Amino acid sequence: MSVSVVTPTDIHPVSDRPAVSARVLRPLLGALVIVRTPSALWRGTLLSCVRDSAWFVVNDEDVVVHLSDLVSVRAA
Protein backbone atom coordinates (compact mmCIF):
# COMPACT_ATOMS: atom_id res chain seq x y z
CA MET A 1 0.00 0.00 0.00
CA SER A 2 1.50 3.31 -1.00
CA VAL A 3 0.98 6.44 1.02
CA SER A 4 0.80 9.83 -0.60
CA VAL A 5 1.52 13.01 1.27
CA VAL A 6 -0.84 15.90 0.67
CA THR A 7 0.22 19.34 1.78
CA PRO A 8 -2.46 21.40 3.54
CA THR A 9 -4.42 23.62 1.18
CA ASP A 10 -6.80 26.26 2.47
CA ILE A 11 -9.25 27.71 0.01
CA HIS A 12 -11.26 30.71 1.13
CA PRO A 13 -13.79 32.82 -0.72
CA VAL A 14 -12.87 35.98 -2.55
CA SER A 15 -15.71 38.44 -2.88
CA ASP A 16 -17.75 38.48 -6.07
CA ARG A 17 -16.37 35.24 -7.53
CA PRO A 18 -16.60 31.53 -6.73
CA ALA A 19 -14.72 30.57 -3.58
CA VAL A 20 -13.26 27.42 -5.08
CA SER A 21 -12.30 26.31 -8.57
CA ALA A 22 -11.89 22.79 -9.88
CA ARG A 23 -8.30 23.65 -10.80
CA VAL A 24 -7.49 24.54 -7.20
CA LEU A 25 -9.18 21.39 -5.86
CA ARG A 26 -7.40 18.95 -8.20
CA PRO A 27 -4.32 18.48 -5.96
CA LEU A 28 -6.71 17.22 -3.27
CA LEU A 29 -8.33 14.51 -5.44
CA GLY A 30 -8.46 11.23 -3.53
CA ALA A 31 -7.50 12.91 -0.27
CA LEU A 32 -9.40 13.12 2.97
CA VAL A 33 -10.55 16.74 3.28
CA ILE A 34 -12.45 18.98 5.66
CA VAL A 35 -15.19 20.90 3.90
CA ARG A 36 -17.07 23.95 5.13
CA THR A 37 -20.27 25.20 3.50
CA PRO A 38 -22.50 28.00 4.82
CA SER A 39 -24.62 25.38 6.61
CA ALA A 40 -22.26 22.50 7.44
CA LEU A 41 -18.77 21.31 8.31
CA TRP A 42 -17.78 17.74 7.43
CA ARG A 43 -14.92 15.42 6.57
CA GLY A 44 -14.87 13.28 3.46
CA THR A 45 -12.86 12.15 0.46
CA LEU A 46 -12.78 14.32 -2.66
CA LEU A 47 -13.51 12.00 -5.59
CA SER A 48 -14.03 14.39 -8.47
CA CYS A 49 -14.27 18.03 -9.36
CA VAL A 50 -15.54 19.65 -12.52
CA ARG A 51 -16.20 23.22 -13.56
CA ASP A 52 -19.32 23.68 -11.40
CA SER A 53 -19.25 21.04 -8.68
CA ALA A 54 -17.25 18.73 -6.47
CA TRP A 55 -18.09 15.14 -5.53
CA PHE A 56 -17.21 13.86 -2.08
CA VAL A 57 -17.85 10.64 -0.18
CA VAL A 58 -18.85 11.24 3.43
CA ASN A 59 -19.60 8.24 5.66
CA ASP A 60 -20.21 6.03 2.61
CA GLU A 61 -22.64 8.53 1.07
CA ASP A 62 -22.09 10.56 -2.09
CA VAL A 63 -22.27 14.32 -1.66
CA VAL A 64 -22.20 16.66 -4.64
CA VAL A 65 -21.71 20.35 -3.87
CA HIS A 66 -21.83 23.30 -6.25
CA LEU A 67 -18.48 25.08 -6.07
CA SER A 68 -20.14 28.39 -5.19
CA ASP A 69 -21.50 26.73 -2.02
CA LEU A 70 -18.05 25.82 -0.72
CA VAL A 71 -16.66 28.20 1.90
CA SER A 72 -13.38 26.33 2.44
CA VAL A 73 -11.73 23.01 1.67
CA ARG A 74 -8.49 21.75 3.21
CA ALA A 75 -6.61 18.52 3.61
CA ALA A 76 -7.60 16.73 6.80
Would 36 be classed as within a structural domain? yes
Instruction: Please state the pTM of the whole predicted model.
Output: 0.74
pLDDT class for 64, splitting at 50, 70, 90? Answer: very high
Q: Is the pLDDT of residue 9 over 60?
A: no
What domain count does the chain have? 1
Tens digit of each residue's pLDDT (9 = 90 or more) over 21-34: 899 999 999 999 99
Would 67 be classed as within a structural domain? yes
SS3 at position 8: coil
Cα separation, 72 vs 12, whole angstroms? 5
SS3 at position 22: helix
Would 44 be classed as within a structural domain? yes
CATH at 71: 2.30.30.100
Displacement of CA 18 from its chain's centroid (Å):
13
Top pLDDT among 40 and 4 is at: 40
